[in-house]
Structure 1
Amino acid sequence: MTNSTEDLMNANLLEVFGQRDPALRRAAIEHTYTEDVVFLDPDEVVEGYDALDAKAGKLLEGAPGFVFAPAGPVYVNHDMGYLAWNFGPEGQDPVVRGFDTCFISDGRIAKVYTVLLAE
């Protein structure tokens, strides 16, 4: 079954980077990404399920009470998806804003670029 780019982009944001339960996050990772997924942000580049899982877990652990929320629709251009997001305490103004650009291969995300926006 092929996932839509919109579904994959939302899963990346909410079911992986927004998921605090490690077992649910790992299941979402295996469903959403290729095994050799590459994640790139301003701080580092990580590759594979284990590294991506550790990245998401560390981010959430360092921001208790923070949640991710989409900041607009998913935009799609062939095998690429784009989704802006906000991150901060639930129900309050975001502390961080950014966007993800993902490249899709065989119905799963193969590469994720995360860009943080300056306030």
Structure 2
Amino acid sequence: MSSAVADLMRRNLLDVFNEPDPERRNAAIALTYAPDVVWHEPDRVIRGREALVQRAAELLAEFPGWVFQPDGPVSALDDLGHLGYRFGPAGQPPVLTGMDIARCKDGVIVELYTFVNGSSQPS
């Protein structure tokens, strides 16, 4: 299952949260998450695919031109996946770093936890 979990973690980061086209993003969401997915962000909990669709669009609108990049390889253990990320303006050093941890079942993410580490730039 670890290669399937790794694929889901990469799709979560790159095909959903980096995808500016709503139709392609929504198709990726349908393939990546359970209908009743629960996503824990630092300041809120999102429940269900429709709410995730809306929140992904909000993030893209809030940070136009910013991109997520994997920060290292995916780690997978049984039905759990972990992927660090960097986030910032395309072509520039990242502004934020963090990690996603997901619980997967039946080929989709059923629960996602997003942690934000804060600035990756030296002070």
Map of 1:106 onto structure 2: 106
CA RMSD, aligned part only? Answer: 1.0
Structure 2: stretches of 5+ with no match in the other structure? none
Map of 2:65 onto structure 1: 65
Q: How does 1:47-62 map to 2 (within 5 A)?
A: 47-62=47-62
TM-score, normalised relative to structure 2: 0.92
**Paired amino acid for 1:110:** V
Map of 2:75 onto structure 1: 75
1:13-71 CA-to-partner distances (Å, cap 9, x unmatched) read: 01111111111010000001110000001110011111001111100101111011001
Map of 1:42 onto structure 2: 42
Cα deviation, residue 118, structure 1: 2.9
Q: 3-state SS of the aligned residue for 1:103? A: strand
Structure 1: stretches of 5+ with no match in the other structure? none
Q: 3-state SS of the aligned residue for 2:24? A: helix
- The answer as to 2:97 corresponding to 1:92 is no
Aligned residues: 117
Map of 1:32 onto structure 2: 32
Q: Percent identity?
A: 45
TM-score, normalised relative to structure 1: 0.95
